[in-house]
Structure 1
Amino acid sequence: MTVRVGCSLGYRATGDATLLLNLRPQTHAAHAVIFEALTIGDELPTESFGDSHGNHMLRGRLSPGEHFLRYDAIVAVTSQPDDQGAHASSSSPAAHLPPEVLRYAFPSRYADSDKLVNFAWQHFGHIADGYPRVRAISQWIHENIEYRYGSGVTEMSAWDVLRRGHGVCRDFAHLAIALNRTFNVPARYVTGHMPDIGFPDPENHMDFHAYAEVYLGDRWYTTDARFHVPRIGRIKVSCGLDAVDGAFSTIFGGANLSYFQVWAYQVKHGTVGVGDPLDFTQRLDNQTTIVTEAPYFVPER
């Protein structure tokens, strides 16, 4: 399948500021970037680097005034749905976890698992370790936390979401991460693009999406309490302990986001190029029918 993803961002700076961007998809077994283009207005001075979570970071300096950036990419994705770990082994004890994975088992700013221990054990302590418990946590969040588009609050933690009872995808992800960490299951925050392949969205909300990954056996698996069903075409951009590491932009200094547009939709291979005008009449998703093409990308498993 072929998916076009990207974003157009505008920033208004009142003084000198530094902008940290996290927009480019990570290397992943289920998708591959075929073409991409990043346009930075006014030739802003920038530098690229990778952070400790494997994210592709871009740092730029803003002078006073308006600044516009655009990232556009054509991505090949597998037509197979998420692997959510149904056949995974149980979680590994801390003594056997790889050193680089251990940090994802600790409480963090927005995934404050230390506050949720009693709740977690009361609701999920009787469920078998591994995938059964991970799935039960996802199902409980999906059924008991109301999704309200536009209700996100940047300072809200998993504990706050549980008490409030509603939130956005970021909140669903934080609560899933925190509850899994209470059982010493490493869990991390993930952001990315997710077209509506085989999943009609009548409100047509195409935005950055947040979900979680859990470490079972010897690898990471997707868990997405917002939808609680395997999805097709998920394109991972970043990951980290929580939303601090996964923000698509972080501003240091006097600047504000003034314009924001995101796209993620399936297209026919070879019909759209990076930089072309957005034309949502060409989208093949946002319907129950799944449109596939001759395979030109074989994902790793």
Structure 2
Amino acid sequence: MLIRLGYEIAFRLPQPTSMLVTLNIHDSRRTDIVIGQELRALPGVPMRQYHDSFGNTCTRLHAPAGLFTLYADAVVQDYGQPDPVAPDAREVPVDQLPDDTLLFLLGSRYCETDQLVSMAWDLFGATPPGWARVQAICDYVHNAIQFGYQHARATKGAVEALQEGRGVCRDFAHSAIALCRCMNIPARYCTGYLGDIGIPPVDAPMDFSAWFEAYLDGRWYTFDARHNTPRIGRVLIARGRDAADAAISNSFGFNTLEKFEVWTDETDDPTLSPRVPVPPMPLGYALT
């Protein structure tokens, strides 16, 4: 299966501004790129890439004052199957976890485990450990939070999302991650592309998506508390402890977001033929 994906994000900058962006497809999917170029800038500026401690491709640049646009357009190959489901996957005791998973047991900026641990054990302590427990957490979060772009807030963590019962995809992910960590299950945040593939079309602007991975039975499995069903066509951009580690852009100076458009569509065309425009994301809700 082929997926055409990309974005156009425009900023109005009152002065030259340094930026750090994480918008390239994750290295684990780079060999799936059929055609297209990743991060480009208009006007063009020097860019330098590096890999952060989570393996994400980050780009440093210094943008000029005025209108500054980041964009990409590509076609990628995908295996076209829903997220794997492994109902028999077992929890790994903490003393047997690999060293590099232990970080994902700890609280982080948006996943406040210290405030949720008692609730988590009350809710899920009697749930069979392993896959069933993670799925029970997803079920709980899915039902506890109402999705809506108008509920986005950059400072909102898992505690406030669960208290308010409203949020966007990252709030679902943060809440489920925090509850998994409370139950001693390593969980990490993911962001990337997820189009309306294999489901009825959704009448809403496209955005980047957020989900999470839980470590069970010696490997990482994908879970999605917002959609709460296996989905087709996820294309990873970045992972981390939470959204602070996987922010698609950080600007070190004042700016105004002027355009935010994302596309992720199944295609049978392996070329970058002219694309049918799609409605942009309402600017008040973008980059959340």
Kindly provide the CA deviation profile for residues 191-243 of structure 1, in whole angstroms up to 9, marking residues without a partner as x.
01111111113314311001111011211101101111100111111110001
Where do residues 122-271 of structure 1 align in structure 2 (5 Å cutoff)?
122-270=122-270
The residue aligned with 1:277 is: 274
- Aligned 8 A contact 2:196 2:202 in 1: no
SS at match of 1:265: strand
- Aligned 8 A contact 2:144 2:162 in 1: no
Match for 2:149: what amino acid?
Y
Q: Distance in 2 between matches of 1:256 and 1:91?
A: 45
Distance apart, 1:86 and its partner CA: 2.3
* Gap regions ≥5 residues in structure 1: 282-301
Kindly provide the CA deviation profile for residues 235-266 of structure 1, in whole angstroms up to 9, marking residues without a partner as x.
11111000111111111123332211110000
The residue aligned with 2:81 is: 80
| % identity of equivalent residues | 37
* Gap regions ≥5 residues in structure 2: 279-288
The residue aligned with 2:23 is: 23
SS at match of 1:66: strand
For normalisation by structure 2, the TM-score amounts to 0.91
- Aligned 8 A contact 1:31 1:77 in 2: no
Distance apart, 1:31 and its partner CA: 7.8
- Aligned 8 A contact 2:173 2:225 in 1: yes
For normalisation by structure 1, the TM-score amounts to 0.87
The residue aligned with 2:52 is: 51
- Aligned 8 A contact 2:29 2:236 in 1: no
Distance apart, 1:14 and its partner CA: 1.4
- Aligned 8 A contact 1:85 1:222 in 2: no
After TM superposition, the runs of 4+ consecutive aligned structure 1 residues lying more than 3 A away are 27-31
Q: Distance in 2 between matches of 1:124 and 1:57?
A: 37
* RMSD of aligned Cα (Å): 1.8
- Aligned 8 A contact 2:82 2:232 in 1: yes
Q: Distance in 2 between matches of 1:149 and 1:201?
A: 17
Match for 2:254: what amino acid?
G
Pairs aligned (count): 277
Match for 1:201: what amino acid?
P
The residue aligned with 1:98 is: 98
Match for 1:22: what amino acid?
T
Q: Distance in 1 between matches of 2:29 and 2:52?
A: 20
Q: Distance in 1 between matches of 2:36 and 2:51?
A: 18
